[in-house]
């Protein structure tokens, strides 16, 4: 059984792309077959693997716009491991507009995943910092949502509205959708604010908050410079260890 997980938060810079890249690498290191799908027109995940989003004849744009276009045709190897990536391209921004009046506009990703014949254990989806049609395709096309939450002041605000969207999608479009969990990111233990935000998250979302804290570390920003995630570049780094623990928690969570 393939597990499909969408990583979503309409706030930018909270660690979505970093989570997809590092969780993917950690699952791949456990021997899992992993597909990463980049649904963000800014294409940071695609760029992480050295793929130029300006020169791509085939990308998630074609998959979403041409119904019946297969995922297999757009796949690239991601890094040195067994991971594959379905890259974004700059024209993906146009897809959001072009799809507005198209039939099955929210189900395009779902059909592509359902029709895919290449076996994967995990499909991880990166989404843009908005709740538009691209993120909606992510929520409709998967069964689990993972929400990175920056352990900062005001981070909680957006989480509630995201949850409302998730429940609405679940009621109307994708009854199988469930919240996998909230992941506190960029955590600074010396900041009383950060400690309070995580406590507040746990008070509201209880066991849905992962027992993994991703600490604030500049190493996360440095790794993609060499076309790798931190987990691939330095698996023993504290930040890499957090994502490797997360991968284990998720794999055991069933
Ligand atoms: N735990 C972390 N500590 C410090 N910086 C981080 C951490 N996670 C991600 N970053 C950096 O913060 C920026 C935003 O992260 P990113 O994953 O791109 O967020 P999003 O995809 O939600 O916009 C990037 O430069 C990334 O390298
Ligand atoms: Mg991103």
pLDDT of res. 80: 73
Supply the residue whose CA is at minimum distance from atom 26 of ligand 1: 221
Residue 11 has pLDDT above 70, yes or no: yes
CA atoms of 205 and 201, how far apart (whole Å): 6
Contact partners, residue 243, CB within 8 Å, separation at least 6: 19, 22, 23, 25, 26, 214, 230, 231
CA atoms of 17 and 183, how far apart (whole Å): 13
CA atoms of 37 and 54, how far apart (whole Å): 17
pLDDT of res. 158: 87
Residue 248 has pLDDT above 70, yes or no: yes
Contact partners, residue 163, CB within 8 Å, separation at least 6: 179
138 in contact with ligand 1, CB cutoff 6 A:
no
pLDDT of res. 254: 64
This prediction's pTM: 0.97
Q: Considering every ligand atom, which ligand is closest to the CA of 12?
A: 1
Q: Where are the domains of the chain?
A: 3-253
11: CA distance to ligand 2 center in Å? 10
User: Which listed CATH number (3.10.105.10, 3.30.56.10, 3.90.330.10, 3.40.50.300) goes with 3-253?
Assistant: 3.40.50.300
Measured from the CA of 14, which atom of ligand 1 is nearest? Answer: 22
Phi, psi of 20 (to 5 degrees): -60, -45
Query: What does the pLDDT look like over 19-47, one tens digit per residue?
Result: 999 999 999 999 999 999 999 999 999 99
- pLDDT tier for residue 217 given thresholds of 50, 70 and 90: very high
218: CA distance to ligand 2 center in Å? 16
Contact partners, residue 79, CB within 8 Å, separation at least 6: 25, 49, 227, 228, 229, 232
16 in contact with ligand 1, CB cutoff 6 A:
yes
Residue 17 has pLDDT above 90, yes or no: yes
* Top-ranked range on mean pLDDT: pick from 15-19, 47-51, 66-70, 187-191: 15-19
Query: What does the pLDDT look like over 79-105, one tens digit per residue?
Result: 877 899 999 999 999 999 999 999 999
Query: What does the pLDDT look like over 175-210, one tens digit per residue?
Result: 999 999 999 999 999 999 999 999 999 999 999 999
129 in contact with ligand 1, CB cutoff 6 A:
yes
Q: Which of 112, 89, 106 is nearest to 42 (CA)?
A: 89
CA atoms of 189 and 85, how far apart (whole Å): 34
Phi, psi of 189 (to 5 degrees): -65, -20
Beta strands 76-77 and 3-7: pairing type?
Answer: unpaired
């Amino acid at each position: 059984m393939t597990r499909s997980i969408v990583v979503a938060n309409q706030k930018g810079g909270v660690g979505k792309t970093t989570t997809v890249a590092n969780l993917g690498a950690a699952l791949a290191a456990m021997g899992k077959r992993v597909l990463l799908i980049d649904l963000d027109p800014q294409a940071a995940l695609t760029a992480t693997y050295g793929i130029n989003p300006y020169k791509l004849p085939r990308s998630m744009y074609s998959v979403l716009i041409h119904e019946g276009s297969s995922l297999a045709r757009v796949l690239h190897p991601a890094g040195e491991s067994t991971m594959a990536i379905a890259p974004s391209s700059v024209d993906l921004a146009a897809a959001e507009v072009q799809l507005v009046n198209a039939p099955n506009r929210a189900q395009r990703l779902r059909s592509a995943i359902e029709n895919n014949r290449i076996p994967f254990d995990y499909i991880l989806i990166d989404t843009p910092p908005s709740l538009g049609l691209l993120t909606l395709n992510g929520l409709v096309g998967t069964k689990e949502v993972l929400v990175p939450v920056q352990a900062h002041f005001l981070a909680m605000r957006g989480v509630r509205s995201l949850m409302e969207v998730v429940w609405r999608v679940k009621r109307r479009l994708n009854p199988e959708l469930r919240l996998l969990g909230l992941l506190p990111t960029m955590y600074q233990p010396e900041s009383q604010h950060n400690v309070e935000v995580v406590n507040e998250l746990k008070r509201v979302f209880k066991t849905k908050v992962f027992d993994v804290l991703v600490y604030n570390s500049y190493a996360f920003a440095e790794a993609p410079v060499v076309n790798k995630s931190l987990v691939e570049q330095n698996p023993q780094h504290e930040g890499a260890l957090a994502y490797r623990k997360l991968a284990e928690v998720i794999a055991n969570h069933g």
